[in-house]
Chain A
């Protein structure tokens, strides 16, 4: 059998394969490019960008747990101006669909950042970060309220121009299908899910939380089965009927993990925390998916999406 066709259609874009990096774990592109061929990726999601630079939270900002880690970076980033000046020209050098993760304290800030970037040819699309658990204003406060999800998605979609808008959902809600529906009602072209789970680790000697921010977002293999479940649910109940693709993520470390997400209903998958341990992890996920398709005689990887059997 010849090599499987890995290309996919994603939110109106033709991508060479379904493997992305996950925002916040891959820098702006150059950091990861030192370790792998970024142009081999189907997509790349940048670290969050806000209108003005943000210092982020005090340290400790991370703590490892049994099968994952908590982070409370607090959207530390270089801000829109420096991003445009220093990173966009770098991004233009790579042959992959770059989605800029946009964050803010107010709807106006999300709108301002997206509007300014919507004219940049090097940028393929946007990921709306309404699910960061580590900032006091913005982030998850938008993402847990369905009305706000719809309002902000609508406002940002209006200024995104022809570029697709992906909305990143938080799993820290009672019913994720409600927020997924709200995002689609607001005009989302794709959903990315899931962001981290709010969590805490306590130092039993000092009886204080280890993170300076007290809580952080749990990522890594610990959350994978929950993420797979949520993707499967949103796919069946919301995304499939609406014809909206899902970028699935949460604890993906290898091709088997990635295949689970695709079977559950994701059109594409993103590698996050695993890049910290193996900066070239995306490449091995990609290679492994090719092997998987060969073993299962899958000619087009897009045919794998949502094939969960009853």
Chain B
């Protein structure tokens, strides 16, 4: 008997429920998944991603396209784009997911035209998310810029699934204009990120230009605070997502203080499902003659152990 399978269940449709401008170039898209998508999301993990097809969407009018993208973002598109999600919620028997995005190119410019009721084709959830190490209840989350959404999802996930864990988050961005979620104030007037405070995760923020929180890189703040001794390294783990130089620093820092870290990586992808082989990441491989091999960001990652990733 030959094998017959038609498991197209991870290709599904989602309907826009909300679309909100967070900053001039940052949006928050809330999507309701259809029955197929909701079934596929039943065991979703933070750090996984979806592939969105913005190809069928039209361009906004020129006046609604950021001036510096008028040229580059108006070309035709063909491929899907990978997006992580910042939240996953049960809504009756369906799932709702939040996708934060930065308007940077031809696909994201098209996404800005979406209004509630519009539908989109998605594939997902794809890849391997963060693997929660229960033997290490002191969890430090580190996010940089557009790496923040999966870290936000992870914070909420850890607090709901492992209430005994001590979760702290460090969030960095280039400036206040590049924070991809809402900024609020606490009862004493201090700046907070409701995305983290609402789930009870203490957090600190940095910006490169000092326009919000501590001035400098998020990794500088982390390095200052994670001093072995006061920081119980044998019970701790770092989870990070952000630009590659940040991840490289987190990886070095983790190695120095002897704490494991998991990094959510990013690569250009044509498919997101292991067909195109384009999203290669250089990793240590004792089996390989020369000690390294490529792994695919989409199938082997996007979350990889920091000790395995080779940063050139």
A positions within 8 Å CB-CB of B? 24-27, 31-40, 47, 55-56, 58-69, 71, 73, 76, 93-95, 220-221, 273, 275-280
Contacts and interface: CB of A to CB of B under 8 A. Distances in A.
A35 to B, nearest CB: 5
Contact of A280 (B4, B11, B76): B11
B271 A275 contact: yes
Contacts of A76: 277, 280, 294
Interface of B: 2-8, 10-11, 53, 55, 75-80, 123, 267-271, 273-281, 293-294
Given A56-B294, A64-B79, A67-B76, A36 B276 contact: no
B270 A71 contact: yes
A58 B294 CA distance: 9
Max count, chain B CB within 10 A of own CB: residue among A24, A36, A64: A64
B123 A279 contact: yes
Main SS class of interface, A: loop
A37 B6 contact: yes
Contacts of B123: 279
Given A55-B293, A56-B280, A62-B276, A279 B3 contact: no
Main SS class of interface, B: loop
A62 B80 contact: no
Max count, chain A CB within 10 A of own CB: residue among B80, B279, B281, B294: B294
A72 to B, nearest CB: 9
A69 B274 contact: no
B244 to A, nearest CB: 11
Contact of A276 (B4, B8, B270, B293): B270
B110 to A, nearest CB: 13
10 contacts: A34-B273, A35-B11, A60-B268, A60-B278, A62-B276, A63-B268, A64-B78, A95-B3, A277-B271, A278-B11
Given A71-B278, A93-B2, A55 B76 contact: no
The 9 tightest CB contacts between A and B, nearest first, are: A95-B2, A276-B271, A93-B3, A62-B278, A37-B6, A61-B278, A31-B274, A276-B270, A66-B76
Contact of B268 (A39, A58, A59): A59
Contact of A69 (B78, B273, B294): B78
Contact of A34 (B2, B7, B76): B7
A34 B123 CA distance: 12
Given A56-B294, A60-B268, A276 B280 contact: no
A35 B10 contact: yes
A137 to B, nearest CB: 19
Given A59-B279, A71-B270, A276 B11 contact: no
B6 A277 contact: no
A94 B3 contact: yes
Nearest to B296: A76
